[in-house]
Structure 1
Amino acid sequence: MPAVPEKKQEARRAPARVDHPFKGIALVLLSTIFLGCSDVTSKYLSSSLPSIEITWIRMATFALMFTPVMLPGSPLHAMRTERLGLQLMRGTALLGSSLFFITGLSFLPIAEASATGFVSPLFVTALSIIFLSEKVGMRRWIATAIGLIGVIIIIRPGSSAFHVAAFFPIVSAFCWAAALIMTRMMSGREAVVTTMAYSALTGFAIMSLMVPFVWVTPSWSSIGFGILIGVASTVGQWIVVLAYRYGDASVLAPFSYTQLLWVSILGFFIFGELPDIWTITGAAFIVASGLYIAHRERVRRAQLLVLEERSPNP
């Protein structure tokens, strides 16, 4: 789901976390408002601009907003990395997450797209086994299966209500999960500013190559809405980063599901979309699955902490 470096060498490390969970929860709730507004605006703009062009405007805004972060030091220093391939793949994965989700929004009700987009914890569970050699117990696998059942309930493959575009938010969630896994793989080895730089510039560079083939001259209002998407999504992600300085991911992550509430409310008032019983039921399965996975992660970390405290010092 992006911090400003303090001073030269300090930029190589993330700021220390301060245990203040209620402040972290408040920031996560605030971030969901920004991210929800970004999603709703993306859907609104998709009626007049191609998803590739919307994504390009979003990435261009992200890159422009990030430029002042790089300027106080050396831009070349910010781009210095020991994991170039992994940084480029992570940036591409984040781009894919945005592009596929915005494409899905142009075809699907926003509540449906948002609910299915929240299956990323399920993909993280599977990918962490392959790339991080993590052990996943039976209960987490059951929770993962429940989340997948929720997805099936929402998209209803084989029914007359099924739309092939329902797979776009799912692919978006997979890309997001892949980016999270790569972030973990680089944790402690790469500066936050470096990772953000590659996220911004990789996405902007790729979309700049694609957008000429689908270009539609936007109106001034469309440009304004496009910039709003970029600002809202960037600020939302930045607030998430701030939030995670004050609490554990397992505590804060469940509150990100309130974004479903905001997009459902805005979707009703702006697009006249009311989530049907299938979307509500499926979303309940997905949220329950995500909450349980977050709970098991908290339990696992507590157990690891106990083992570390019991182990003799060398």
Structure 2
Amino acid sequence: MQLSDNVRGAVLMNVAMAAFTINDTAMKAAMQAVPLFQAIGIRGLVATLALTVIGYRLGGLSLNLPRRDLGFLAMRSGAEVLGTILFLAALMHMPIANLSAIMQVLPLAVTLAAALFLRERIGWRRMTAIVIGFAGVMIIIRPGTHGFDIWSVMGLGSVICVVVRDLVTRRMSASLPSVTVALSAAVTVLVLGLAGTAAQGWQPVAQTDLLLIAGAALALIVGYLTVVMTMRVGEISFIAPFRYMALLWAIVLGWLAFGELPDALTLIGAAIVVLTGVYTLMRERKLRLTGPVLAQAEGETVH
């Protein structure tokens, strides 16, 4: 039986979210014994080598870049590095499902940031959804309670870094190869990991931990590649909501690997974030289908 493009896209998105969560799970397990920067450096080395081979085989590597794109590439790589540090530091001390629930606010945060910094107009409906979604995040992290700590702040910080990364990516030339962008980020993360390791000192790594980190790097690459593939089949507005499967994968793998299960308030907050995110995506799809005239009449921008 032949799958439709939308179904294929949904399957690919699920594979991507599973791969990203497998990466998180493997890194969290390895970092119980391996220092943060050393784990980042080892994963960065594997990812850099693999992306170089993939880029060479696909002919997608390009070093002759316009000066404008070089500046954006540097900004994007910087945001990627800082986001990686904050995310992995939080991951070492937080349940995977809790951190994943915080990360699900990303589509709402990108929409808000695009309105603030790229002058994209959003109407009151999407703005209301964004406010409610951020309220859901507050339920998850619970400021002022014993469950709120520096690791929750780092999780939110990683969201901000990813928002900056995605906004900068929007400004890059469409002709800039995706493999070049991914390889630039991988090399920057590798350099940071090696620099941090030089400062901290190298510790012997058990074979099991080395395999975990290498597996994390390969899962990360699978996630990157399948995300790109999802953009080339089916309707983005149909496929995009399946990115929230990452939360389900995080709950399952967190329970299987570490015996972690989110509490009721975390699940309620996560449900609010997911529902408002899906509503925002559906709203954008409606505006796209009904045309720019309706969008302009309602004071919104169709992406």
- TM exceeding 0.5: yes
Per mean C-alpha deviation after superposition, the further-off stretch among 280-289 and 35-44 is 35-44
Q: 1:53: Cα distance to partner?
A: 2.1
> CA, structure 1 residues 299+158, in 2 after alignment: closer, same or farther (shift >3 Å)?
same
Structure 2 match to 1:153: 139
Structure 1 match to 2:218: 231
Structure 1 match to 2:62: 78
**2:65 alignment partner AA:** T
1-structure distance, mates of 2:173, 2:288: 17
1:182 aligns with 2:171: no
**1:178 alignment partner AA:** V
Match of 1:60 among 32, 45, 51: 45
8 A Cα contact 1:59 1:200, kept in partner: yes
Q: 1:305: Cα distance to partner?
A: 6.2
Q: 1:141: Cα distance to partner?
A: 1.0
8 A Cα contact 1:47 1:106, kept in partner: yes
> CA, structure 1 residues 133+44, in 2 after alignment: closer, same or farther (shift >3 Å)?
same
* Alpha-carbon RMSD: 2.2
1-structure distance, mates of 2:169, 2:237: 17
Kindly provide the CA deviation profile for residues 125-181 of structure 1, in whole angstroms up to 9, marking residues without a partner as x: 122124422111111111111111111101111112222211122111221121111
Please list every run of 5 or more consecutive structure 2 residues that lacks an aligned counterpart in the other structure: 295-303
Q: 1:263: Cα distance to partner?
A: 1.5
**1:125 alignment partner AA:** T
1:172 aligns with 2:158: yes
8 A Cα contact 2:23 2:217, kept in partner: yes
1:31 aligns with 2:11: no
2-structure distance, mates of 1:248, 1:211: 43
> CA, structure 1 residues 301+206, in 2 after alignment: closer, same or farther (shift >3 Å)?
farther
> CA, structure 1 residues 303+95, in 2 after alignment: closer, same or farther (shift >3 Å)?
farther
Residue aligned with 2:260, SS: coil
**1:265 alignment partner AA:** V
Kindly provide the CA deviation profile for residues 49-68 of structure 1, in whole angstroms up to 9, marking residues without a partner as x: 22222222222221111111
Match of 2:98 among 108, 112, 134: 112
Per mean C-alpha deviation after superposition, the further-off stretch among 59-68 and 276-285 is 59-68
Percentage identity across paired residues of the two chains = 32
1-structure distance, mates of 2:130, 2:233: 27
**2:115 alignment partner AA:** I
Match of 1:302 among 273, 279, 289: 289
8 A Cα contact 2:41 2:191, kept in partner: no
**1:292 alignment partner AA:** Y
> CA, structure 1 residues 132+227, in 2 after alignment: closer, same or farther (shift >3 Å)?
same
**1:107 alignment partner AA:** H
Structure 1 match to 2:30: 45
> CA, structure 1 residues 257+139, in 2 after alignment: closer, same or farther (shift >3 Å)?
same
Structure 1 match to 2:259: 272
Residue aligned with 1:297, SS: helix
8 A Cα contact 2:55 2:180, kept in partner: no
Match of 2:75 among 68, 89, 100: 89
Q: Equivalent residues in 2 for 1:247-262 (5 A)? A: 247-262=234-249
TM-score (norm 1): 0.85
Q: 1:84: Cα distance to partner?
A: 0.6
Please list every run of 5 or more consecutive structure 1 residues that lacks an aligned counterpart in the other structure: 1-18, 308-314
8 A Cα contact 1:119 1:286, kept in partner: yes
Residue aligned with 2:85, SS: helix
Match of 1:191 among 177, 197, 202: 177
